[in-house]
Amino acid sequence: MNILTSPGAMRAWAREQVVLGNKTALVPTMGFFHEGHLSLMRMAAQHADTVVVSLFVNPIQFGPNEDLDRYPRNFTKDCELAAGEGVEVLFAPETPDMYPADFQTTVSVEHLSRSLCGADRPGHFNGVTTVVSKLFNIVQPDFSVFGQKDFQQLAIIRRMVQDLDIGVEILAHPIVRESDGLAMSSRNAYLDENQRKSALSLSKGIALARSLFTEGERETAVLGKKVKEHILSYSGTAVDYISFIDCSSLEPVDRAGQETLLALAVTIDGRVRLIDNGLLTGDE
């Protein structure tokens, strides 16, 4: 596996792939790989001849009081894991390579970036769309794979690609979970034993909403109240949002249907913010 750190070297490699007639898939990540990341890499390999994984903890998508400094990192292990998946290039730039001192251009997807996680984390999605645009420009991939765990991010990237006529096909990967239902996340590394138990409140909350939906409940106000009660019954949980939204428009809905997605953000002990989501039908 090639490990490239300079955008110039990455771009030169990508140009060569075009000359060779190879299709490239990019998997953007912030590292500290778990099975979710590795599954995205496998999906990328199914669609393209060569897979590039970017590993960059993007400072501009973190708010001033967020976890940029303590975000988990293990570069050596990440290299081993990506190499084990047959990844051709790990692109791991340093911050000054991506954001030189005079950097001043950002990409913003207006409406979709405001709700849900965007309301709690102002500027977060502008950071994401800016870095993903830069990665697309550097790597020039044919495909790029994103996880449905970050469903709002996925919707925003799709919108950006469509609005800006970016020639990258976006592929979505279903949420990869631990055996007890917890959605895998690099941030799960923050959880101690008790917090790990409380983290189950998200997937269990979704399971509760699904069973109520199956029993016939359609009022999202009623579903939301019950999900909230359930989540708050776990120790140290605070609800950032419980939203029932249309899975395409991300607009809130009053009555649940086949297309309704339950999206959750929960903070545990005021320290670890986790997200999860699922269609009420249980489909992926």
Active site residue 173: no
Where does this chain touch ligand AMP (CB under 6 A) — which range of 62-70, 172-180, 233-241, 262-270?
A: 172-180
* 183 is an interface residue for ligand AMP by CB under 6 A: yes
Where does this chain touch ligand AMP (CB under 6 A) — which range of 99-107, 179-187, 198-206, 216-224?
A: 179-187
* Sites for ligand AMP among residues 13-32 (CB under 6 A): 29-30
Distance between CA 240 and CA 261 in Å, rounded? 16
- Compare residues 40 and 223 and give the one whose CB is closer to ligand AMP: 40
| Least spacing, CB of residue 175 vs ligand AMP, in Å | 4
134: Cα within 13 Å, side-chain hemisphere: 24
**Cα distances (Å, whole numbers) of residue 254 to 28, 118, 137, 221:** 35, 21, 40, 7
Where does this chain touch ligand AMP (CB under 6 A) — which range of 41-49, 181-189, 235-243, 260-268?
A: 181-189
| Least spacing, CB of residue 185 vs ligand AMP, in Å | 5
* 146 is an interface residue for ligand AMP by CB under 6 A: yes
Among 93, 118, 127, 147, interactor with ligand AMP by CB under 6 A: 147
Among 17, 185, 188, 220, interactor with ligand AMP by CB under 6 A: 185
Among 40, 43, 161, 265, interactor with ligand AMP by CB under 6 A: 40
Q: What residues have CB less than 8 Å from 73, skipping those under 6 apart? A: 31, 32, 57
Taking CB positions, which residue lies at the least distance from ligand AMP? 147
Q: Which are the catalytic amino acids?
A: 37
Binding site for ligand AMP (CB under 6 A): 29-30, 36-37, 40, 146-147, 149-150, 173, 175-176, 183-186
